[in-house]
A and B are shown apart, each in its own frame.
Chain A
Amino acid sequence: MAGREFFNTETSILNTKNLQAGFFIGGKFYPAIEDINIEIKPGKVVCVVGESGSGKSVTALSIMSLLPKENGSIQEGEILFEGRNLVDLSQDDMNEIRGKDIGMIFQEPMTSLNPVFTIGFQVQEVLLNHLSISKSEARERSIQLLRQVGISRPEEIVDEYPHQLSGGMRQRVMIAMAIANNPKLLIADEPTTALDVTIQAQILELIKEIQKKMNMAVMLITHDLGVVAEMADEIIVMYAGQIVEQSDTYSIFYNPKHPYLKLLLQSIPRLDENRERLDSIKGIVPSLTNIDRTGCRFTDRCPEAKDECRQISPQLAELGGGHKVRCLLYKESYPTEKAVTNR
């Protein structure tokens, strides 16, 4: 077992261990994510899916050490990036990694660019932060980068301002900035949510193409299962701050285990079915301050809930073949003796 651990950290680019992060609200700490173990290997695309409020973005921001500094905090666990624990690093040390080894794309391209600086300035900044090159070299490189992400007339666009660009173009600029220094890991936090459907496909295609070309590891956060099916090597399903199911793409779509995932998959429209209404999951994700931390967090919305689901907190357990699930329908998920007596 110890040997396997060592092997894992060696070959994976990112490895979070029992990560717990959250927010102080009214002086009390509320974990937004708990017990998060994610491993990403070089060149692989890992998709994190879940509804709003499931903790996807908090996971990404924790990795980047970008949680709001007023009240956000990582309380437990490790984030091993190439063997270094990012949790222990100062903001100055993180600045060396952010934008260089890890690039990030955000959900909202309309507000993610600074409105008062030119596109060129904003792309050059990420280059100048990490490379010792001259401004004119940085400008040349940023024009190349803009061309690489499919922006036509990049020579003119560098001197334009964000408001002169469409949402899709701005997201391409964001991608250009994120990949400018050939990062080993790209974190994309719902990169297509705010875009038109036609643009969504183009942006995903672009991320996929760049990922292949640069052999980058990608952590793609989305609530769109269609996106996931196209991109992912591995899928992590989150609910209310916990990972509830984790497996390769094929198993997730063709052999879902958790009732939540099954319901999610039923809510996708399909061409080969003629339905008046799409199924939806009743209820909503509990808010951060309202999560009942005893028992399974999906109990209230779960069609297959049993009485004990309210009392026993299921563990994320492997069912075989790397397929993990956190649900009491599977005996593997029952907590071990030690965990029970702890409660």
Chain B
Amino acid sequence: MLTYTLRRIAVMIPIMILLSMVVFSLAKMMPGDALSGRIDPTNSSPEYISAMKEKLGYNDPVHIQYLRWMNDILHGDFGNSFIHKMPVSQLIGLRVYNTLFLTLLALFFTYIFAFIMGMYAGKHPYTLGDNMIATYNYLGFALPSFFAGLMAIYLFALKLQWVPASGSIGTGVDVNTIAFYVSKLKHTILPALVLGMLSTAGYTQFLRNDIIESSRKDYVRTARAKGTSESIIYNKHILRNSIIPIVTFLGFDIGGLLGGAVITETIFTYPGIGSLFIDSLTNRDYSVVMTITMMLSIMTLIGNLIADLLYGVVDPRIRLD
């Protein structure tokens, strides 16, 4: 297990280098550059612009620029945001906890509802309850998150006024007090619910189908022949087999933890990584875009690694020595 993990991490290094090249090239290929975001070309003298270009190293060959960027990253310097006028690492540090809180809360809802509904539907297939869950799943697949988000804001924030409509924290609360955390939760719960309830659909349907398939397996008949009760057969024998494919989803989820939900965060004007990413793209704040893209790529690799290791935990047949 340990050697496997180390080997997998070693394999990740060339993949990351390749990724960084792709990210760098894409950023280079995008129209405009940091300079056009920072100074007004119509009001600046061409001499000043060319001097600044020289100073920022934009006249160097591309591979030199790439190596300089990589060198900075390896030293923990992700550059400065031209819009926010602060180091990218500091900027992301401000946002990342919001996003982490939102995505973890959303995942919590996703898994709780998916397991409850998936297990019920799998145990009672083709009943009224199963059909109702299936209807909900189709809605979850069909509804775009911006629409569901707007509906939720209209209903719960504007009409019922249970929770605030936007932001991540109320005004006038001191950091690290109970009121602070309550305010955080109040701001985050609605986008988390929208995010979680929509993505529940896929998990539920997957779990349901796998439970139905597993319940026809020979080992279930063996368990019945031993006099094992129906509830233990479903909650232990079948469920233990049906969570194996769910681990694949979990890998993606871990990869997406820091990415946040671009659309949901934007709809709720929630200051997370997702909305920062969109803002930076529209503002050509490339150092931020590049850093977030790299971060998501690395998180995806780590998520995959964790999923692969978890397979060994839940399925003894592919346990790694």
The interface of chain A, by Cβ under 8 A from chain B, is 64, 66, 68, 91-92, 94-100, 103-104, 106, 108, 111-117, 125-126, 129-130, 161, 163, 174, 177-178
Contacts and interface: CB of A to CB of B under 8 A. Distances in A.
Given A112-B218, A161-B316, A129 B241 contact: no
Nearest to B316: A161
B221 A115 contact: no
B237 A114 contact: yes
Contact of B314 (A104, A116, A125, A163): A116
Contacts of B228: 95, 99, 125, 129
Nearest to A102: B225
A115 B229 contact: no
Nearest to B317: A163
B242 to A, nearest CB: 10
Nearest to A115: B317
B315 interface: yes
A99 B225 contact: yes
B227 A106 contact: no
Nearest to A65: B224
B316 A116 contact: yes
Nearest to B319: A161
B217 interface: yes
6 contacts: A66-B224, A94-B227, A104-B225, A106-B225, A115-B241, A116-B315
Interface string B216-238: 11110111111111100000010
User: Counting chain A CB atoms within 10 Å of each CB, which of B219, B221, B226 scores highest?
Assistant: B226
B219 A112 contact: yes
B38 interface: no
B222 A113 contact: yes
B227 A116 contact: no
A319 B163 CA distance: 86
A86 to B, nearest CB: 13
Interface string B163-181: 0000000000000000000
A111 B217 contact: yes
A233 to B, nearest CB: 24
B28 interface: no
Given A95-B227, A96-B227, A113-B222, 14 more contacts: A66-B225, A68-B216, A94-B227, A95-B228, A98-B227, A99-B227, A106-B218, A115-B241, A115-B317, A116-B244, A125-B226, A129-B226, A163-B317, A178-B225
A194 to B, nearest CB: 11
Contacts of A91: 230
Contact of B240 (A92, A106, A116, A178): A116
Nearest to B221: A66
Contacts of A104: 225
Given A92-B229, A115-B316, A174 B219 contact: no
Interface in B279-321: 314-317
User: Counting chain B CB atoms within 10 Å of each CB, which of A91, A104, A125, A174 scores highest?
Assistant: A125
Contacts of A129: 226-228
A99 B224 CA distance: 8
B225 A98 contact: yes
B212 to A, nearest CB: 10
User: Counting chain A CB atoms within 10 Å of each CB, which of B227, B230, B315, B316 scores highest?
Assistant: B227
A117 B240 contact: yes
Contact of B221 (A106, A163, A177): A106
A113 B221 CA distance: 10
